[in-house]
Amino acid sequence: MIHITALHKKFGKNEVLKGIDLTIAPGKIYAILGPNGSGKTTLIKSILGMVIPDKGSIEVLGHPIKKGWKYRKQIDYLPQIANFPGNLKVRELIAMIKDLRNDDNEATDLIQLFRLESHLDKKLSALSGGTKQKVNLVLAFMFDSLLLILDEPNTGLDPNALIQLKDLIKSEKAKGKTLLITSHVMQFVEEVADEVIYLLEGSIYFNGTLEELMAATQQTNVEHAIAELTKTELNG
């Protein structure tokens, strides 16, 4: 699905990615974790073509992304912060995104899933943060792409919406799709992820299954395992 080789990126003198080598297999859910400044966002934006690496290569679906853009049609992306035009109504935004994607996929089921029917004719500026996040999720899941990249998808969600999100993520995986997810909520990661990629200061410090993470750290849950990884690095 994704193959990354020797990826480097600097912003000024700050080396954000330090020779990342990574293979993302199809049909799995990957949690990309790490403290602030570890390189998670730069890695994601490099895959999306929003950041141009200094060195290294990225292949998506068997094709190098350099000087190409059509691969993006096979990716749905949920940004951590969605800056919607405040003067648009929810239904207008959905229609606009469909038009931009040139895709008539129906969003009715997702609108019902996240209980947005009563908000469709409200302006985006009038919505709460949690409701905006539900709109963000509808936009991310409404197209039938092979790869989904979700940056902090659980932010601001009420308990019911969070349950619906977890079920939706698992159903997308069951369709054979690949998902990359970042989250600071380790319980959420533990419930949905198959694999963990832990970044620290621009390098991959751990890459493996949840079971391998527990075994490597001798812990019984993801939160304690990640804490142990960080402690090990600090002590090292």
Determine, yes or no, domain membership for 49: yes
pLDDT at 235: 55
pLDDT at 101: 81
State which residues form the domain around 12.
2-86+125-235
pLDDT at 99: 87
Determine, yes or no, domain membership for 111: no
Determine, yes or no, domain membership for 106: no
The tally of domains found in the chain comes to 1
Mean pLDDT by 10 residues, the chain (236 residues): 94 94 96 91 92 93 83 87 88 90 82 95 94 94 92 93 95 95 92 95 94 93 88 58
DSSP state for residue 146 in the 8-state scheme: S
Write b or e for each residue in 161-172: b if 16 or more Cβ atoms lie within 10 A of its Cβ, otherwise e. bbebbeebbeeb
pLDDT at 233: 58
pLDDT at 209: 95
CATH at residue 10: 3.40.50.300
Q: Coil, strand or helix: which one is 233?
A: helix
